[in-house]
Amino acid sequence: MKSLLRLLGLVLLAGLSLQLYFVARIAAMIVLNPESTTFQRSEAYLIAKRTGTLKWHQQWVPYSALPDNLKRAVIASEDASFVEHDGVDMAALEKAWEKNAQAEQRAEKSASRTSTQRTMPAVKAPKIVGGSTITQQLAKNLFLSGERTLLRKGQELVLTLLLESLLGKQRILEIYLNSVEWGEGIFGAEAAAQHYYRKSAAKLTAYEAARLAVMLPRPRYFETHGNSGYLAARAGTITARMGDVELP
């Protein structure tokens, strides 16, 4: 029994030490720009392993120099309630939950029909819709792996609250726009603007910013499918919404 209690105590101590480490890391970001994120390092390693070349394009731009067009576009596309919530958008999570449940029901019905008609093609797994805020995405990219477990989701929530408490909205958006992936080995707004439009992010038009924002959920796909009708249509929708976006 004593051994079990000692082990439990060590586990709790390790967990507390990890949280204190995260607090220190996030607190440092108040004045220091993160050199890289866990996601960036992981992706760069995988690219280098596959191609034998380190592919990493990134150039930090301070918040004041980031174009309002892009800030508004990303908020409109990724997290419309960014300036209002405390890191977690419960309404968006509820909508995502409902969509996922409906998708699973449709998949089950299709699978049932397919089982009685062997000539029909196999049923695709339902697409899982997220609901993560910009702060949650940043928390995951900065510190966590891509696995989907309850423990990792719980840690993401803790990190999200820490980011909101210690950094504030402007700094969160600044770090996000400078580190998020916009294609294979392309990280941050400046690298994305140079790659796709051959100009500085500061010179992006509203529509160009909207197209970049729409790419974010699937940047590598849209990097090779730039003529996608969905991308153009969605970018038009986001452009129309940008005027109503409140900036932090």
Kindly report, residue by residue over 101-156, the tens digit of the pLDDT.
Answer: 554 555 456 555 555 554 444 444 444 444 699 999 999 999 998 777 888 889 99
Q: 143 and 159: one domain?
A: yes
Q: How large is the average pLDDT for residues 200-227?
A: 96
Q: Does residue 223 carry a pLDDT above 80?
A: yes
Query: Do 170 and 56 lie in a common domain?
Result: yes
pLDDT tens string 225-239: 989 999 999 999 999
Q: Which of 78, 112, 130 corresponds to the end of one domain?
A: 130
Q: What's the pTM value of the predicted model, to 2 decimals?
A: 0.84
Which has the closest alpha carbon to 53: 44, 62, 43, 65?
A: 44
The verdict on 100 and 72 lying in the same domain is no
- The verdict on 6 and 106 lying in the same domain is no
The owner of tokens 């592919």 is: 55
Are residues 117 and 211 located together in one domain of the fold?
A: no
Domain CATH number, residue 15: 1.10.3810.10
Domain closes at, from 104, 130, 156: 130
pLDDT > 90? residue 96:
no
Q: Are residues 184 and 63 in the same domain?
A: yes
- Stretch among 15-29, 143-157, 179-193 having the lowest mean pLDDT: 143-157
**Residue 201: predicted pLDDT:** 96
Range of the domain at 119: 90-130
Is pLDDT of 185 > 70? yes
My answer on whether 8 and 123 are in the same domain is no
Q: Do 140 and 37 share a structural domain?
A: yes
Do 62 and 160 lie in one domain? The reply is: yes
> Is residue 21 scored above 80 in pLDDT?
yes
The model's confidence at residue 89, banded by pLDDT at 50, 70 and 90, is confident
Please tell me the total count of domains within the chain: 2
Question: Which residue from 139, 74, 140, 127 is spatially nearest to 99, judged by alpha carbons?
Answer: 127
Domain check: are 144 and 111 in the same one?
Answer: no
Query: Which phi and psi (to 5°) does residue 95 adopt?
Result: -65, -40
Q: Out of 52-61, 104-113, 157-166, 198-207, pick the least confident.
A: 104-113
The conformational region for residue 183 under phi > 0 = left, psi -120 to 50 = alpha, else beta, is left
Q: How confident is the model at residue 92 (pLDDT cuts 50, 70, 90)?
A: low
Asked if 157 and 168 count as a contact pair (C-beta separation under 8 A), the reply is no
pLDDT of residue 129: 43
pLDDT computed for residue 136 by the predictor = 96
Determine the distance from the C-alpha atom of residue 31 to the mean position of all C-alpha atoms in its chain, rounded to a whole number: 22
- Mean pLDDT, rounded, for 32-50: 94
Dist. CA 182–CA 209, nearest whole Å: 12
Mean pLDDT of the chain: 87
Residue-level pLDDT at 3: 75
pLDDT for the residue 12: 85
Q: What percent of the chain has pLDDT over 70?
A: 83
Task: State whether 6 and 49 are in the same domain.
Answer: yes
